[in-house]
Amino acid sequence: MDTFGTRLAAAVTTHGNLCAGIDPHPGLLAAWDLTDDAEGLESFATTCAEAFAGHIGVVKPQSAFFERHGSAGIAVLERLLEAFDGTDTLVILDAKRGDIGSTMDGYADAYLGVKAPLGADAVTLSPYLGFGSLLPGLDAAADAGRGVFVLARTSNPEGEQVQLATVGGRSVAQSIVDAAAARNAGAEPLGDVGVVVGATNDHGLDLTALNGAVLAPGLGAQGAGPADIRVRFAGLRGIVLPAASRSVLEAGPDVAALRGAAQSLRDELSAAV
């Protein structure tokens, strides 16, 4: 299997760099005239797969909105992942997992290993028990040809207390970026360890050595526009994946309209960035 970095570069070349969120929260299910249960969730997921698979470079299901329906919701998530398998659309599962020791080993088995039952092309991880605590996940991902996106500088105000704290003259967020860059050093066309950096505010990070991808949530309904993406990630050596959910999903449940909304936003990004 090609590395995640290789597959991501190919997907972005073919379909652009928009990352379309798949976030079936209760309000959106209602707006689509779907029931807030596993049956409604299944319909939502099937529609998104039909609209995006093979037409958009990257999608990002939010695991929490599937987990809230219990085992039936997890089963829907598994089928959603299978629906994109074998297409040239990559899936980043937004699960934000992170722990230590054998517990991190368990998360690696669930999401990142060769036979991971919830294995996507990449998974988001939280490093705030220390970047080194993620090593079982990073190693499992590398062995399986998967990627990870490690939280670095999120857009929520509460994150500043930890992420902007300084240690040894640099912020914690910058140390996360630097650790990711060290994992990616020498990789071609880019490494498998990305970072998550919110697009709604100036992040203040040096991304020039990352040699990986930045997942940048906040495009669209959260306030960031294509011009903001261009300015805030101008120094990146790698790929930026602006993520939009509500501004795309509000076009559903019609498959053609949903696909058109995603492709229109993708084209706006291409023109601006």
Q: Is the pLDDT of residue 221 over 70?
A: no
Section 159-180 average pLDDT: 94
Q: Give residue 194's pLDDT.
A: 98
Task: Give me 227's structure tokens.
Answer: 């011009």
**198 vs 54, 146, 151, 201, CA distance in Å?**
26, 22, 9, 7
Percent of the chain with pLDDT over 90: 85
Least confident of 60-74, 97-111, 149-163, 208-222: 208-222
CB 111 within 8 A of CB 123: yes
User: Which H or E run contains 222?
Assistant: none
Residue written as token pair 């190919």? 10
pTM, rounded to two decimals:
0.96
Q: What is the pLDDT of residue 1?
A: 74
Which residues, other chains included, contact 18 with Cβ-Cβ below 8 Å and sequence gap of 6+? 56, 57, 58, 219, 241, 242, 244, 262, 265, 266, 269
* Domains: count for the chain: 1
Q: Give the residue among 244, 222, 246 at the shortest CA–CA distance from 29.
A: 246
Closest of 50, 49, 60 to residue 8, by C-alpha:
60
Which residues is 153 bridged to in the sheet?
197
Q: Give the list of residues 6+ apart from residue 267 with CB closer than 8 angstroms, or none.
A: 16
User: Where is average pLDDT lowest: 5-9, 38-42, 200-204, 260-264?
Assistant: 200-204
In this structure, what CATH number is given to the domain that contains residue 184? 3.20.20.70
On average, the pLDDT of the chain sits at 94
Tell whether the model's pLDDT for residue 271 goes beyond 90: no
CB 118 within 8 A of CB 146: no
Catalytic sites, residue numbers: 96
Confidence of residue 133 (pLDDT cuts 50, 70, 90): very high
Range of the domain at 23: 4-272
Query: What's residue 223's pLDDT?
Result: 67
Report the run of H or E that residue 56 belongs to, with start and end: none
